[in-house]
Structure 1
Amino acid sequence: MARIHEEYPMHTSGLKRMQALGRLKVGEMNKTEAAYAQRLEAQRQRGEVIWYKFEGVKLRLADNTFYSPDFAVMAQNGQMEMHEVKGHWQDDARVKIKVAADLYPFRFIAVKPQPKRDGGGWSTEVFE
């Protein structure tokens, strides 16, 4: 227990401690991203998606400010899309995707898993 207090002092909020514990290495998907990758792979096999890459693009928004969408996706029609997978939105993430949509000629799509009680699947929000 003492070790936890050293790494995460008592003045650190529970949310901050949880976020710090849940961070993954760059290039490593969380469960929600992995589930979405399976969806993209099924779409690729059906010919609905030509190509996709996890953390494949890094976009400059301003000096020392970057945005890396979860997935870069090329749709069947050749249009590039940037897909952001969210279980919960942080305010800064919503701002970054809106700024990126204003700066770049890609279609930005945020996806969120729907609860099974609501039929499952994914809800989408498009930023253009």
Structure 2
Amino acid sequence: MTIAYWCVLLAGLMPILTVSFAKVGGRGDDNHDPRAWLEKQSGFRRRADYAHRNHFEAFPFFAAAVIIAQQVHAAQTPLNILALVFIAARLAYTAFYLTDKPSFRSAVWFVAYLSIVGIFVLAGMAQ
């Protein structure tokens, strides 16, 4: 399995890991209605939930880019590098979200987004 495919797995795990920050140790966590409970949270827990949601939003675009690039036999080394950049940017995004640094968070969100666009460009160049 390629590094890029491993990055898809990591990206798929990020939402679960991020929501754990919102839930672990939370008082009154209600597994019968977890979304309603999360909606009532504030501060760190609220930001963790929002980061969790954003990871789910970013995942399909990233996974599609990697799968398409692999299918058309895009150059593997640049693909792996761009996939790793995406993962690093998303980890930084989470850290900046949790620590309430919105300007940095937006900057690394943009880096992650550009890495996905770069993967699509790489796939386009393979044809």
Shared fold, TM over 0.5? no
**TM-score, normalized by length of structure 1?**
0.30
Query: Whose helix fraction is larger, Structure 1's or Structure 2's?
Result: 2
Query: Whose strand fraction is larger, Structure 1's or Structure 2's?
Result: 1
Structure having greater relative contact order (Cα 8 Å, sep ≥ 6):
2
Q: Which has the larger radius of gyration?
A: 1
**TM-score, normalized by length of structure 2?**
0.30
